[in-house]
Structure 1
């Protein structure tokens, strides 16, 4: 095959319940249908890597890998994983491990950061929130990621972090009405804290919002967010030789 094949990215989203993936072209369009596997329990590095290997075997034709991870990530190395098996992940080089196991160049970022790359317009200061197992945030200026802040782990009240205040467990415990009341407070806090130009809200629980949103707030889908995987490789207009995933051992 040609050594100047177009960029084809296996984009993976690791969540507390499922690990999802698809293949994207160099413009972020889906080339294959989404597939998913359950996030293993315990969700330690060894089990998650096995699950990703199983999932990736269902795809072919990609030449790069992007991963959105639910925690703080620096240079593809996981620093925290509050909604997985946290202690086991500290300083785990997930990017390097997946390159060894799958045989493709890999970049790993926080999952909200990857979603942000997929949904923003690239103009001004844009904030992305993901409402799921926890509370994810990404901040971008003119389409460029700013240093990641783990807002979900910071205090929302005297006793609760944002993860605990409006995460999935809080939704299940408090109910939809009270959760929405809390979300109004959270959105007010985010406006005050970041003074953003535009806000995007995604994640599974975004569909549970019942109150009217400001004109500069938009709901987005997980499918939109996973498209950010190709933008992690925007510095590469062409990719190396394509190796079918069937060669993965």
Structure 2
């Protein structure tokens, strides 16, 4: 049953860093310093869990009664990680939610990182107030995705793995692919055009929201795309996972 709590802790685990903060769920603002540590080399489960425990403990007595949400770069089914992006393959098939709960000695909510980012944009950002189908994509090391239909999350969509020209779309159109290939904005936009045109044809969304760190440079590439669907940059970028994980954790109690 959902609670009326107005604060929660969000933890965002990535391949290079782990971030966390306490969140005011009414405003979507951070009410603590944003903590950040490097993801342990190799990204193995026990090492990451240990860092998360240390981070949550830094919130002290104030954080002891708050819901905790953790987002992670993997397909998450009933608390189990079914994939692993830029972390150890030991996560695949792991009862991750239970592992964190045992270490933290409390219940948590465990969710895919792009799904958390989508929820953040739905409640506090670029998708707020939009009905119909909103698709958030995060352009980074890969392409993460979140589908939101009339305010409801459809989890674990993994649209970065759509096949285009015989390859995963993210291998050609992620921001990492742009960097690897030293592509100009126009060259990268041509790849993005193929990707978003395919997604648009499959889902007929009402709105695209583009997240990831590169979204702060959206004026360099979004105007180059020609789509029927409006496409806008995300608002929260580096804080989106924290906000979405916190919101979902509070609603799961």
* Class of the TM-score when normalised by the shorter of the 2 chains: 0.7 to 0.9
RMSD between aligned residues = 2.2
Q: 1:218 aligns with which of 232, 237, 242?
A: 232
Summarize deviations over 1:84-124 as a string: whole Å, max 9, x none.
Answer: 222x1112122111111112221111111011111022521
Matched residue, 2:180: 173
1:16, 1:39 within 8 Å by CA — same for their partners in 2? Answer: yes
CA–CA distance in structure 1, aligned partners of residues 4 and 154 of structure 2? 30
Summarize deviations over 1:150-209 as a string: whole Å, max 9, x none.
Answer: 222332321x21231123441222124132321122222221122111111111233354
Task: Single out whichever of 15-24 and 215-224 deviates more from structure 2.
Answer: 215-224
CA–CA distance in structure 1, aligned partners of residues 58 and 169 of structure 2? 36
Matched residue, 1:243: none
Task: Single out whichever of 77-86 and 51-60 deviates more from structure 2.
Answer: 51-60
Distance 1:57 1:233, change over 3 A: closer
CA–CA distance in structure 2, aligned partners of residues 222 and 137 of structure 1? 15
CA–CA distance in structure 2, aligned partners of residues 190 and 84 of structure 1? 27
CA–CA distance in structure 2, aligned partners of residues 153 and 93 of structure 1? 24
Matched residue, 1:202: 211
Distance 1:41 1:225, change over 3 A: closer
Question: Superposed, which structure 2 residues align to 1:1-249 within 5 Å?
Answer: 6-27=5-26, 28-60=28-60, 61-62=62-63, 63-86=66-89, 88-120=90-122, 121=128, 123-158=131-166, 160-177=167-184, 178-209=187-218, 210-211=220-221, 212=223, 216-220=230-234, 221-233=237-249, 235=251
Aligned with 1:37: secondary structure? strand
Distance 1:112 1:39, change over 3 A: same
How much has 1:7 moved relative to structure 2?
Answer: 4.5
Give the aligned length: 232
CA–CA distance in structure 2, aligned partners of residues 139 and 233 of structure 1? 19
How much has 1:234 moved relative to structure 2?
Answer: 5.0
Aligned with 2:209: secondary structure? strand
Gaps of 5+ in 1: 240-249
Where has structure 1 moved over 6 Å in runs of 4 or more? none
More helix as a share of residues = 2
How much has 1:64 moved relative to structure 2?
Answer: 1.4
- TM-score, scaled to structure 1: 0.84
